[in-house]
Amino acid sequence: MTDFEALIRLLAGSGVEFIMVGGAAATAHGSARLTQDLDIVYRRSPENIARLAACLAPYHPYLRGAPPGLPFRLDGDTIERGLNFTLITDLGSLDLFGEIIGGGRYEDLQRDTIELALFGVTCRCLGLERLIEVKRAVGRPRDLEAIAELEALRDEREGQDLSRS
């Protein structure tokens, strides 16, 4: 089980620059679907990579689904050499994306984010419209229902806004 609260507090509390995307971002926007992991797009600056590696190290990050005993160590060099990592940690499943299909890198997504005050920290989450756009760009059949739900959430929000005006 993924401890979203602990992971978000850890990342944001350590000063990691990241944007919540995927199912967790959908949850933030009101999705009722179950998601099992925290997906984040992280800024690929040397300082941020160092912060990310350092804060995760005590929680034994390892490649999710890989056989045990591989010579894998998530340090700054590993993150510099790679881009996207699908991890299991002591706090649960965490996917690190240096770049996402249809969205690009942290800097490309930043302007379409919202700031959330969550679990005593502040973190960035991809905005609903951009989240829909990214999910559409990925084009996976299994995402169709998720996209439909996100668009329904958008309709509901717009309905609320209209009823308030």
Q: Which residues bind another protein (CB under 8 A)?
A: 1-5, 24, 27-32, 34-36, 111-114, 116, 118-119, 127-130, 132-133, 136, 144-145, 147-149, 151-153, 156-157, 160
- Quote the least distance from Cβ 88 to another protein, whole Å: 15
Please, are residues 126 and 25 in contact by the beta-carbon 8 Å criterion?
A: yes
Which residue, 138 or 152, is less far from another protein as judged by CB?
152
Which residue, 34 or 70, is less far from another protein as judged by CB?
34
- Quote the least distance from Cβ 27 to another protein, whole Å: 5
- Quote the least distance from Cβ 146 to another protein, whole Å: 9
Query: Can you give the three-state secondary structure of the chain, one letter per residue?
Result: CCCHHHHHHHHHHCCCCEEEEHHHHHHHHCCCCCCCEEEEEECCCHHHHHHHHHHHHHHCCEECCCCCCCCCCCCHHHHHHCCCEEEEECCEEEEEECCECCCECHHHHHHHEEEEEECCEEEEEECHHHHHHHHHHHCCHHHHHHHHHHHHHHHHHHHHHHHHC
Which residue, 26 or 56, is less far from another protein as judged by CB?
26
- Quote the least distance from Cβ 45 to another protein, whole Å: 22
- Quote the least distance from Cβ 37 to another protein, whole Å: 10
Which residue, 44 or 154, is less far from another protein as judged by CB?
154
Which residue, 70 or 117, is less far from another protein as judged by CB?
117
